[in-house]
C-alpha cells in the first residue's frame, strides 16, 4: 500500500485554500452539530429510551465522521497526505465503520418507530433500553466485520487521492462497488419502502377513525410527526449517498473516469450527510429545537435571547 497521492490535480494556491475552507466548514458543522445533538438527546425527556439510544448512536457515528474529515482538512491544506501508510489504513477503516454505523442506526430508528406504531403494547418490552443497547453493540461489531471484509477480503490497496482528499481503495473491483450499492442503498431503500408503506397505511386508517369520531384536531399529531422526522432523515441519507455510490459503480462498469470536480462534490455530499440530522431534528421537533436553543444560551450567554418554555410533545 502506498499512501502517496495519486495524480495531482495541479490546483492553484487560491483553489487549494477554497477547497480547504470548504472541507473545514463541513467538518466543523458535523462536529458541532452532533455534539449539540447528543447533548439535546440526553436532556429531552419526551423521547422513548430506545429512540434516545439509537439517536445517540447515530450522532456518535456522525461525530466520528467529522473527526475523520478534520484529517482531510490538514491533507487539503498541505496538498498531501500527512499521516503515512498506517494513518491511511486507520482513517479509511474508521470512516467505513462510521458510515456503516450511521446506516444501521437509521435503519434501527425506522424499525423502532415501526414497532412503536404497529405493536404499541409489546413495544416497551421489545424495545427496552437494554435490548436496544445490545443491538447497538451488535451494529458496531457488524460494521467492524464488514469494514475488515471489504479491506482484506478484496485485498485492495489504499492510496491517498489528491482529487478527493481522502484515502481510498485503488483499482476497486466491480463486485466491491456493486456490493456497496446493494448494501448501502438498494436493500435499505427496499426495507424503508416496506416500512413506510405500512406506516402510511396505518396512519390513514387512524385518520379515518378520527374523522368518524369527529376528532379532526388530533389527526396525525405525535406519531405522524415523529415518522415524518425519521422519514426525512432516511431520504436525506439516501439522497447524499446514492450519487457517489452510483457514480463509482458506473465508472467501474464503463472504465471511464468522471471529471475530478464531480467526484469531489459527490464524495463530500456523502460525507456532509453527517451534519444534516441535527438540522432535521430542529426543524420537525419543537422540543428538540427549544432544548437546543436553551443549551446554546447556557453555553454562550453573550448570544442569549428570550427563549420560550420547553414544551412536551412534537
Per residue in 262-302, pLDDT (tens digit) is 999 999 999 999 999 999 998 888 888 999 999 988 887 77
Average pLDDT over residues 99-126: 86
Residue 303's CB: how many other CB atoms inside 10 A? 8
In this predicted structure, what is the pLDDT of residue 206?
A: 66
Average pLDDT over residues 236-245: 89
Q: Are 39 and 288 in contact (CB under 8 A)?
A: no
In this predicted structure, what is the pLDDT of residue 188?
A: 82
Confidence check: pLDDT of 309 > 60 = no
Q: Are 74 and 165 in contact (CB under 8 A)?
A: no
Which domains are seen in the chain, by residue range? 13-303 (1.20.1070.10)
The CA R_g of the chain, rounded to the nearest whole Å, is 21
In this predicted structure, what is the pLDDT of residue 4?
A: 45
Confidence check: pLDDT of 214 > 90 = no
Average pLDDT over residues 32-37: 95
Between residues 240 and 170, the one the model is more confident about: 240
DSSP-derived secondary structure letter, 5? B
The model's confidence at residue 3, banded by pLDDT at 50, 70 and 90, is: very low
pTM listed for this prediction: 0.84
d(CA 220, CA 241): 30
Closest Cα partner for 140 from 187, 102, 176, 113?
A: 102
Q: Are 46 and 221 in contact (CB under 8 A)?
A: no
Residue whose grid cell is 434501527: 108
35-70 pLDDT, tens digit per residue, is: 999 999 999 888 889 999 999 999 999 999 999 999
The model's confidence at residue 138, banded by pLDDT at 50, 70 and 90, is: very high
Closest Cα partner for 277 from 27, 37, 20, 112?
A: 37
**Residue 197 has which C-alpha cell?**
408503506
d(CA 151, CA 144): 11
d(CA 287, CA 217): 20
Amino acid at each position: 500500500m502506498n499512501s502517496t497521492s495519486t495524480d495531482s490535480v495541479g490546483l492553484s494556491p487560491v483553489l487549494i485554500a477554497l477547497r480547504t475552507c470548504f472541507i473545514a466548514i463541513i467538518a466543523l458543522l458535523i462536529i458541532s452539530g452532533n455534539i449539540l445533538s447528543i447533548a439535546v438527546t440526553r436532556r429531552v425527556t419526551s423521547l422513548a429510551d430506545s429512540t434516545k439510544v439509537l439517536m445517540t448512536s447515530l450522532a456518535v457515528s456522525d461525530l466520528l465522521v467529522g473527526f475523520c474529515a478534520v484529517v482531510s482538512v490538514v491533507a487539503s491544506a498541505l496538498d498531501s497526505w500527512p499521516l503515512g501508510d498506517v494513518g491511511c489504513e486507520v482513517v479509511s477503516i474508521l470512516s467505513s465503520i462510521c458510515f456503516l454505523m450511521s446506516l444501521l442506526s437509521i435503519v434501527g430508528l425506522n424499525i423502532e418507530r415501526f414497532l412503536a406504531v404497529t405493536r404499541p403494547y409489546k413495544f416497551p418490552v421489545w424495545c427496552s433500553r437494554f435490548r436496544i443497547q445490545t443491538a447497538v453493540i451488535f451494529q458496531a461489531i457488524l460494521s467492524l466485520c464488514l469494514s475488515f471484509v471489504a479491506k482484506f477480503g478484496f485485498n485492495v490497496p489504499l492510496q491517498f487521492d489528491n482529487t478527493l482528499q481522502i484515502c481510498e481503495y485503488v483499482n476497486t473491483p466491480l463486485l466491491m462497488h456493486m456490493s456497496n450499492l446493494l448494501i448501502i442503498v438498494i436493500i435499505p431503500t427496499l426495507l424503508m419502502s416496506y416500512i413506510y408503506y405500512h406506516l402510511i397505511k396505518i396512519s390513514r386508517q387512524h385518520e379515518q377513525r378520527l374523522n368518524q369520531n369527529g376528532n379532526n384536531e388530533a389527526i396525525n399529531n405525535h406519531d405522524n410527526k415523529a415518522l415524518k422526522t425519521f422519514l426525512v432523515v432516511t431520504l436525506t441519507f439516501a439522497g447524499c449517498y446514492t450519487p457517489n455510490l452510483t457514480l463509482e459503480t458506473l465508472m467501474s462498469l464503463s472504465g471511464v473516469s468522471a471529471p475530478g470536480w464531480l467526484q469531489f462534490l459527490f464524495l463530500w455530499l456523502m460525507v456532509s450527510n453527517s451534519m444534516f440530522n441535527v438540522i432535521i431534528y430542529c426543524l420537525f421537533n419543537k422540543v428538540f429545537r427549544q432544548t437546543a436553543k436553551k443549551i446554546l444560551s447556557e453555553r454562550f450567554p453573550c448570544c442569549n435571547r428570550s427563549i420560550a418554555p420547553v414544551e412536551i410533545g412534537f
